[in-house]
């Protein structure tokens, strides 16, 4: 335990923690997006999927608690690293130049924090029914999604959150490969493209669902 804590506290240990938890969260959001796509197949499909998940409470709770821990570690470590990074440059440059970085790579803390805010809202909305509770209905997920995304205000929040998540993953996926020590003349350029495609697929898939309701297609 002491060994692990010492590893986590080091710079590279913190980075590796971000990469491992980031990878697991990425795999989760990918599966989550694919699961959501069943909405487009109609009420029977997605409601059966929801029922299937709820029929395995033990598994569901292990997954929920596991995710929560992974998420908490990712957030806690991300904030620590970002704080250290700020402290490492007490006086900035009068002329701020950027040679290679892009908005995605420079805004990881921002896009991470907006994702955190969105996840809290999303859980309060669909899982707990604390907000927009009139739409809440765990027995008919399809109806719940349809009602909610019919409100332009709610739909816009969901779409905006996905755009910000896109930027987080657009840098995050290529970045985690480098953090885990994968750098190779042939594969690194491929990973960079894959990072863009996977981030676009995750955000795009979720946005497709939201817009299909808002625009009255489903």
Partner 1 sequence: MKVTLNIWRQSKASTKADFRQDGKLVRYQLDHVSPDMSFLEMLDVLNEQLTQQGEEPVAFDHDCREGICGSCGVAIDGVPHGPERGTTACQLHMRSFQDGAVITVEPWRAAAFPVLKDLVVDRSAFDRVVQAGAFISVNTGAPQDANAIPVPKADADRAFDAATCIGCGACVAACKNASAMLFVGAKVSHFVHLPQGRVERDQRARNLVAAMDREGFGNCTNQYECEAACPKEIPVRVIAELNREFVRAKVREEPVVDKGRGGDG
Query: Which pair of tokens denotes residue 110?
Result: 């921002």
* CB of residue 216 to ligand HEM, shortest distance in Å: 29
Count, residues near partner 1 per rule CB under 8 A: 39
Q: Which of these, 153, 140, 158, lies nearest to 210 by C-alpha position? A: 158
Q: Which is nearer to partner 1, 64 or 106 (CB)?
A: 106
Q: Which of 1, 5, 99, 217 binds partner 1 (CB under 8 A)?
A: 99
For residues 174 and 190, the answer to whether their CB atoms sit within 8 Å is no
- Separation CA 166–CA 107 (nearest Å): 12
10 binds partner 1 (CB under 8 A): yes
From the list ligand HEM, partner 1, none, partner contacted by residue 217 (C-beta under 5 to 8 A by kind): none
| Comparison of 17 and 148: residue with beta carbon closer to ligand HEM | 17
Which residues have CB under 8 Å from 218's CB, separation 6+? Answer: 39, 40, 146, 212
Q: How far is the CB of 178 from partner 1 (least distance, A)?
A: 5
CA atoms within 13 A on the CB side of 64: 10
Nearest to 118 by CA among 157, 174, 153, 82: 157
- For ligand HEM, the closer of residues 82 and 208 by Cβ is 82
Residue 29 CB, nearest approach to partner 1 (Å): 20
Closest listed residue to residue 171, CA positions, set 110, 117, 99, 97: 110
Among positions 179-218, residues that touch partner 1 (CB under 8 A) are 179-183
Binding to partner 1 (CB under 8 A): which residues in 37-96?
Answer: 81, 84-85, 87-96
Binding site for partner 1 (CB under 8 A): 3, 7, 10-16, 81, 84-85, 87-101, 105-106, 108, 171, 174-175, 178-183
């Amino acid at each position: 335990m002491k060994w692990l804590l010492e590893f986590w506290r080091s710079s590279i240990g913190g980075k590796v923690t971000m990469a491992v938890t980031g990878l697991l969260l990425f795999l989760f959001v990918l599966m989550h997006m694919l699961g959501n796509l069943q909405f487009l197949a109609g009420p029977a499909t997605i409601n059966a999927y929801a029922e299937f998940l709820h029929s395995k409470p033990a598994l569901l709770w292990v997954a929920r608690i596991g995710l929560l821990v992974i998420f908490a570690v990712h957030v806690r470590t991300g904030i620590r690293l970002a704080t250290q990074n700020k402290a490492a440059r007490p006086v900035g440059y009068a002329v701020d130049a950027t040679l290679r970085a892009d908005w995605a790579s420079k805004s990881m803390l921002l896009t991470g924090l907006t994702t955190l805010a969105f996840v809290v809202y999303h859980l309060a909305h669909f899982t707990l029914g604390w907000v927009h509770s009139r739409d809440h209905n765990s027995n008919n997920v399809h109806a719940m999604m349809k009602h909610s995304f019919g409100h332009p205000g709610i739909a816009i929040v969901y779409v905006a959150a996905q755009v910000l998540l896109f930027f987080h993953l657009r840098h995050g996926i290529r970045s985690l490969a480098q953090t885990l020590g994968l750098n190779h003349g042939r594969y690194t350029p491929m990973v960079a493209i894959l990072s863009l495609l996977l981030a676009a697929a995750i955000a795009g898939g979720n946005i497709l669902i939201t817009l299909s309701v808002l625009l009255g297609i489903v």
